[in-house]
Structure 1
Amino acid sequence: MVQQGDQWLASAYVDPEVFTLRPDYRALLILADGLAPGPSDDVTEKMLRAAEEAAPADHPHVVAWREAFRAFGAKPQRTRPSVDALLRRAPQGLPRVDRLTDAYNAVSVLHAVPIGGEDVDRYRGPLRLVRATGEEPFDTMADGQVTTERPSPGEVVWRDDEGVTCRRWNWRQCVRTRLGPTTTRAVFILDALEPMTEAGLATAGATLVDALRATSPEVRIETRTLQRKT
């Protein structure tokens, strides 16, 4: 169990080395408490269909994310930014996972912004974005079994005290902290680079909050933006 919501949000940070790589990076953190998890339903189906219909063929923000991946050695053609992967699936149909994941995937496509959602109560210590040493554990699935991998040295990763929670900035989330059928408290991370503006990021965040409230009317929201200090 992590700290109370406001304390946990206050402890989150981005390592200066990440801002050296991309000074324009911002992360909008949305902490949602009182969520109602469950399978995909009519509400999230409507969200996903609207996103599929409105999905852009390409977007400058997605191009910026491909450039960011290349800057730390990733190959975006092989390990795509999360929003890039979703947009490519939109013409054939977005995945239907569960009501919480469906909600943030729909907003990700609508606003062309990478979004991740994770179970806060499975975190150990503060959330932070760092450049990996290559020694950190990352729990993932391979051939139907949980296995441990290691990030590449210099890779940009989200992590906590126990290990990596998301590899390559927003490429793949770990097994341990992913949303599940018992998740009632989650953090949603919206990743922004130029040319996404402050207003654009705020609008995407507000759309996500509305989507969460549509599926979980009793949800309580706290937010914080992480960005380079000037």
Structure 2
Amino acid sequence: MTRSDPDSYTARELASHIQHTKIAVGTTRDEMLTHLQEAVEFGFDAAMVAGSWVPLAAEVLAGTDVSVASALDFPRVGVMTSAGKAAEAAELVRLGAQELDMGVQVGWLRSGDYAGFREDIAGVVRAAGVPVKVMLELPLLTDDEKAAAVELACEAGAAYLKNASSGAIETANPESIRYLVERAPAGVLVKASGGITTRGQVVELLAAGAALVGTSAGISIVSDTSDDSTTSY
């Protein structure tokens, strides 16, 4: 068996690559506590939560191997000011976030404002001081814009490149992941995101070079009961 075979991974091995995501509007405290407990029980890489739940996540996950992850300028990507984004990054880290996923100013990139696009990311990287994953929204970009986005994000200090912010932009696929892996310099990793609902998808994305995947379907994936009815980010 090769590592492209879904059966070649144990549930725990797959979980170690999954960032267990719960960012739904209206999530209750009890629902969030369950989410965090699941992250520990199944051995997920991180619990991805909305910023308002970071303090609770930091409290519950303290002393475990599960990281506290959050996102900014998301799910409506590219609507925050750069200063506001950097300030939120610093606040989330103060509250206990250990890594951040961030939306980018796609409109600035498409307008040719490469300096602004790069500095928007760099400001978050400087303010956070923790690994920052940059959502590049590849399907919205031309070939030249994709290449520029990768280069600028890496120059700005991105720790991870992401193909998209959610399944509304792109269902994560091996082609997009390979595109990023082939262009990322040493030390910059790739996270797959968007529409990831099955064990087979996760294994394909890992085989393409993704280090992490983000999904809200993690439990069904590692339990091999996954289907296409679960949202993914």
Higher strand residue share: 1
Which category describes the TM-score, using the shorter chain as reference length?
under 0.3
Q: What TM-score comes out, normalization by structure 1 length?
A: 0.25
Q: What TM-score comes out, normalization by structure 2 length?
A: 0.25
